[in-house]
Amino acid sequence: MTLILSIFILLFVGSFAQASDEISELQFQDFRYTDDDFEQVYISASFTHWEKRALELDGDVWTVTLEIPKGRQYYRFTVVEEDDTWEAIDPANRTALNHEEYGWVSVFSGSELLSGKSIDEEKAEKRKAKQYRKAIKKELKNVPGRIPNVAYQRVDGLTLGGGLSHVRPEGSMEPSASLDGYYGFSSGRFGGRLAILQPLLPANLLNLKIDIFDRTMANSFNTGIGSVENSLAGVFLHEDYRDYHRAKGVRVGLVMKISSWLRWEAGTRFEEQSSLSRPSVWSIKDGEFISNPNIDDGSLQGVFSRLHIGKKLNNVSATYMRSGSDIFGGDFEFEKIEAQLRGRLSLGTRAGFDARLAAGTNLRGRLPNQERFLMGGLGTVRGYRYQSLLVEDASGSSDDHGGQMMALGNLEYFFRVGSDLGLVLFYDAGMAWQDRNASFTWGDLKSSTGIGLNLDSDDSFRFDLIQRLDDRKQPIVIQFRMKRVF
């Protein structure tokens, strides 16, 4: 009996020692990647069997702590931007190899960097040049209502377009420019835009920006839908979630971009604006498009200023615009201001909260239809009919389109089940008022709640089940989105 017990103890001690050795072969390692307004950053590695693991944004750095075995390991990052996804080695790790099986990878071994073939300096310079060109092109297109190459909407029908651009060499003081044009097959209208960006200070810190245009333009307030998503809604659902007018004129301003998280623009607007009818009729679904609302035709002449501070997921922005006889004249008298606060609170690499608070008001005169606030549906208060949330003014008039004042709040809790799949719980509340002097009351706000399912890593494909909270008897709304709600 004593012999058997001794053998058992020896086996137990041996297995414990082996397990301890295996544990000692593991270590925790921090991986970091500097942010540049990216959507998301992932890491894949030999120790994850090349499955992607999401990094968490902490200030200006994406970071994750992983448990990895000791010894030589290979890894790389996947960076998701607004319109591009690319793989990168670790810029903080000079040791990289062009592995015959894995391709370009960074190399890690314990706390020491391995000696080996490093990334070619020319490759790093090409990447820097690409980022510079992308920043200039993004600024040239940074206006309300970009001109897409292909789109479908109710006032022009199918539109086909294209353009040319010139990006100045880095360090040069010559201007950059882009020229875009399109043709609408239902309306028979051409449209276009010329943008010029003239540097006034080196390093792209301060630019003179000139926009000259004659085109169909979406009305001012962003209802939270992109051009591709809106076009698909028109083709398949006979729905158009934007309102349009014709705008012809010029905008001249100064653009200051001190860093990737601080942009300020101020300038003047001189535009002739006119209403558009609805000639488009075709869709796969039976029915017809609702009429495009008339705007207040006339000359809009005034000044504007826009400020954006922060990154994509954590930022504050404000816009100011004034038009009237005391500025440059024109047909409209108003002074409009709107602001938005957007933030993310991470609860680890897989969960967190997203929130948005937005408000806007007219301070004087009366906003023309094309500058008014819209509330209800899509990217505002989900579950309600599009543009349906509006409190009439004291006279009871309901002839006006949109409101002179608005308030909006959105809150989401998200949890990622895998690298792509995620669950979301959300709550929305908001309202628009026709009277700019209306007293704000919590009772005026309409709200909704629901659950969503994200089908990809950057929230571009999502199903939502939405319940209005003012009337629980209303049916649950099912909504599919191809654009981040906020």
**Mean of the pLDDT values across residues 355-363?**
96
pLDDT of residue 400: 63
Task: State pTM to two decimals.
Answer: 0.76
Residue among 411, 334, 329, 315 at smallest CA distance from 373: 334
pLDDT of residue 127: 65
Whether residue 249 is predicted with pLDDT greater than 90 in this model: the reply is yes
The confidence band for 378, taking pLDDT boundaries of 50, 70 and 90, is confident
**Mean of the pLDDT values across residues 83-93?**
84
The confidence band for 220, taking pLDDT boundaries of 50, 70 and 90, is confident
In a domain, 58, yes or no: yes
Domain limit, last residue, from 60, 94, 119 = 119
In a domain, 179, yes or no: no
Domain CATH number, residue 76? 2.60.40.10
In a domain, 298, yes or no: no
Number of structural domains found in the chain: 2
pLDDT of residue 24: 45
The confidence band for 399, taking pLDDT boundaries of 50, 70 and 90, is low
pLDDT of residue 223: 74
341 contacts 356 by C-beta, under 8 angstroms: yes
The confidence band for 11, taking pLDDT boundaries of 50, 70 and 90, is very low
In a domain, 61, yes or no: yes
Domain limit, last residue, from 98, 119, 140 = 119
Whether residue 170 is predicted with pLDDT greater than 70 in this model: the reply is yes
**Mean of the pLDDT values across residues 388-397?**
79
% of the chain with per-residue pLDDT over 90:
54
Token digits for 322?
């004034």
308 contacts 263 by C-beta, under 8 angstroms: yes
pLDDT of residue 398: 57
DSSP state of 236: H
Choose the most confident range, by mean pLDDT, from 92-101, 179-188, 389-398.
179-188
pLDDT of residue 253: 96
Q: What angle do CA 375, 377, 378 make, to 5 degrees?
A: 110
In a domain, 466, yes or no: yes
Within 10 angstroms of residue 63's Cβ, the number of other Cβ atoms is: 16
In a domain, 274, yes or no: no
In a domain, 165, yes or no: no
pLDDT of residue 1: 46
pLDDT 10s digits, 368-377: 999 999 999 9
DSSP letters spanning 376-400: SSTTSSTTSPTT--EE--TT----S
Domain limit, last residue, from 84, 101, 119 = 119
Whether residue 295 is predicted with pLDDT greater than 80 in this model: the reply is yes
pLDDT of residue 113: 39
Q: How far apart are the first and last CA of the chain?
A: 72
Cα separation, 29 vs 123, whole angstroms: 27
In a domain, 382, yes or no: yes
Residue among 23, 21, 113, 102 at smallest CA distance from 67: 23
**Parent domain of 115:** 26-119
Domain CATH number, residue 479? 2.40.160.50
Q: Between these two residues, 206 and 25, which has the higher pLDDT value?
A: 206
